[in-house]
């Protein structure tokens, strides 16, 4: 059962205000009435920033009108994403429509964005994730592995091991968190120790997030970034290439995160404690599970061999979704498959693509980069280590001022790609390295729904201060890993800047 709306951080994302009835107001447990005119206080910062952005956009006389409109629309979206609790998809759609109605972007761009292969890939991937969840395959795999553990230490290592491959199966961090929560509760009941439970509540969402980079379908932001790479640099990272670049890093980052969490939050006595994890009787795979296993296996095989058969991963994903919902054969009804799709994310991606494309086509993105060069003089440097550190730091800290994962990709990727182009850098390397950093979002619970889901569980869990303590160490670990992987691996497999 969720916590009351008085304490739940989810209330910040609720667009409807609570209005207590007279009866409820007399109850000692009723939530307090919201303060009158609180919205005025909440609106002060975004309104001030919007006014400032509007003035700033009017100042440069060298920019054409379309570029000014694109800049203002994007600045407005970034301000609302960062300073309000309005849904990111609503903000993206509203600012996109404002841009279209103002004449800053042609109407056809909206329709073209919704016809993008990214949209169809995400729809197919979400149906696949729904099938994996409904049939219980993910929970079965997790339980099978964790049940083999004997001590707290081994439980942590085995949990890390089993959470990593879920990025290939469930294309949503919140979806992977939903699969992992029942396992967390089972282990928490067996642990009966607040510190162990707290460390476990930090471990599971952390691994879910840092292992996102292992698969192109691990997050919607990857698909947006890859599409923008194709628009700007006319290049694209295939499913296989992404796995080659990201799988080793995701594995290393996940195990490093596990080690850091154990060292920060657990002593040796607790790590060596015997832990009897509840074991459920494993039944043979059902027909639905076998069907899902076969379809998933075929889809992954086709993704990996895209260069041979020329079927794009979006086509394969939609075909797999159709098989999984096929009457008499599939494991989901068609309506159930549609319900498993995160339509708010689909809308967000479509609108964000329009905003990103308008920055590119109007020349606004190029202007931004020129201003950055003028201020920082970075264009005069040819130091590859300095450029690498700059990319890593910008992307690793982006979650602090822009909480939406997909919003970060839509906002930063065009600017970073133009930065790389101006410095004559490899655009594929710029994109992938910056995506690695953007996948890191572990400073505040609001930076990821996976973190929120675990924080808001009833009973013992982690506190925001615990996450801040963890991030103060993991941020440096992640930065160090990015530098090590660049010089020790990425530059040798095609990602040299």
Per-10-residue mean pLDDT of the chain, 497 residues long, equals 39 39 44 59 76 76 80 82 75 86 81 74 76 74 67 86 83 70 72 84 91 84 83 84 91 94 87 68 78 83 74 81 87 85 76 76 72 62 78 81 69 79 84 89 74 72 84 91 92 85
What's the pLDDT at 250?
92
Rounded Cα distance, 286 and 295, in Å = 14
What's the pLDDT at 334?
87
Return the axis-axis angle of helices 137-146 and 117-135, rounded to nearest 10°. 60
Q: What is the DSSP string of 194-239?
A: HHHHHHHHHHHHHHHHHTGGG-GGG-HHHHHHHHHHHHHHS----H
Q: Which residue has the tokens 């202007």?
A: 367
Return the axis-axis angle of helices 364-376 and 65-83, rounded to nearest 10°. 70
What's the pLDDT at 146?
64
**Are residues 131 and 323 in contact, defined by beta-carbon separation less than 8 angstroms?**
no
Rounded Cα distance, 192 and 410, in Å = 43
Rounded Cα distance, 169 and 172, in Å = 9
What's the pLDDT at 228?
83
Number of residues that this document lists for the chain:
497
What's the pLDDT at 477?
93
> Angle at CA 321, nearest 5°, toward 317 and 322?
120
User: Coil, helix or strand for 369?
Assistant: helix
What's the pLDDT at 3?
42
What's the pLDDT at 278?
55
DSSP class of 274: B
What the block records as the tokens of 35 is 């303060």
Rounded Cα distance, 233 and 183, in Å = 43
pTM score, two decimals?
0.65
- Specify the long-range contacts of residues 189-196, CB closer than 8 Å, at least 24 apart: 189/278, 190/275, 190/276, 190/277, 190/278, 191/152, 191/275, 193/270, 193/273, 194/460, 195/265, 195/266, 195/270, 196/152, 196/266, 196/270, 196/273
What the block records as the tokens of 279 is 């074991």
What's the pLDDT at 1?
41
With 0-12 CB in 10 A as exposed, 13-18 as middle and 19+ as buried, what is 23?
Answer: exposed
């Amino acid at each position: 059962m969720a916590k009351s709306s008085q304490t739940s951080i989810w209330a910040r994302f609720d667009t409807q205000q609570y209005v207590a009835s007279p009866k409820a107001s007399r109850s000692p447990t009723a939530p307090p009435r919201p303060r009158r005119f609180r919205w005025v206080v909440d609106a002060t910062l975004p309104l001030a920033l919007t006014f400032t952005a509007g003035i700033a956009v009017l100042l440069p006389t060298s920019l054409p009108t379309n570029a000014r409109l694109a800049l203002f629309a994007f600045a407005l979206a970034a301000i609302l994403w960062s300073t309000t609790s309005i849904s990111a998809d609503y903000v993206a759609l509203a600012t996109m429509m404002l841009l279209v109605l103002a004449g800053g972007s042609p109407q056809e761009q909206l329709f073209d964005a919704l016809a993008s292969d990214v949209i169809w890939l995400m729809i197919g991937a979400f149906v696949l994730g729904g099938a994996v969840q409904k049939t219980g395959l993910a929970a079965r795999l997790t339980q099978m592995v964790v049940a083999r553990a004997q001590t707290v230490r081994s439980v942590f290592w085995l949990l890390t091991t089993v959470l990593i491959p879920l990025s290939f199966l469930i294309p949503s961090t919140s979806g992977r968190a939903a699969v992992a929560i029942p396992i967390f509760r089972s282990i928490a009941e067996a642990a009966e120790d607040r510190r162990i439970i707290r460390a476990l509540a930090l471990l599971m969402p952390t691994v879910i997030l840092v292992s996102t980079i292992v698969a192109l379908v691990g997050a919607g932001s990857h698909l947006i970034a890859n599409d923008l790479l194709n628009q700007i640099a006319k290049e694209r990272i295939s499913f296989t290439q992404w796995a080659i670049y990201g799988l080793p890093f995701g594995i290393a980052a996940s195990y490093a995160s596990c080690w850091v969490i154990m060292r920060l939050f657990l002593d040796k006595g607790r790590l060596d404690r015997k832990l009897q994890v509840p074991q459920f009787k494993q039944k043979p795979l059902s027909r639905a599970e076998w069907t899902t296993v076969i379809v998933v296996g075929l889809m992954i095989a086709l993704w990996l061999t895209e260069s041979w058969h020329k079927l794009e991963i979006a086509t394969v994903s939609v075909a797999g979704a159709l098989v999984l919902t096929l009457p008499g054969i599939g494991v989901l009804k068609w309506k159930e498959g549609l319900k498993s799709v995160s339509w708010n994310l689909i809308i967000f991606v479509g609108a964000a693509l329009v905003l990103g494309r308008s920055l590119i086509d109007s020349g606004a993105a190029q202007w931004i980069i020129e201003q950055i060069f003028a201020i920082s003089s970075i264009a005069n440097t040819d130091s590859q280590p300095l450029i690498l550190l700059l990319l890593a730091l910008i992307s690793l800290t982006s979650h602090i001022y822009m909480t939406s994962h997909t919003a970060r990709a839509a906002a930063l990727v065009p600017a970073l790609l133009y930065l790389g182009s101006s410095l004559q850098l490899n655009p594929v390397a710029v994109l992938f390295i910056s995506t690695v950093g953007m996948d890191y979002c572990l400073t505040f619970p609001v930076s990821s729904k996976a973190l929120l889901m675990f924080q808001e569980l009833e009973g013992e869990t982690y506190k925001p201060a615990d996450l801040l303590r963890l991030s103060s160490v993991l941020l440096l670990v992640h930065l160090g890993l990015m530098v090590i992987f660049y010089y020790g691996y990425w530059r040798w497999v095609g990602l040299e800047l």
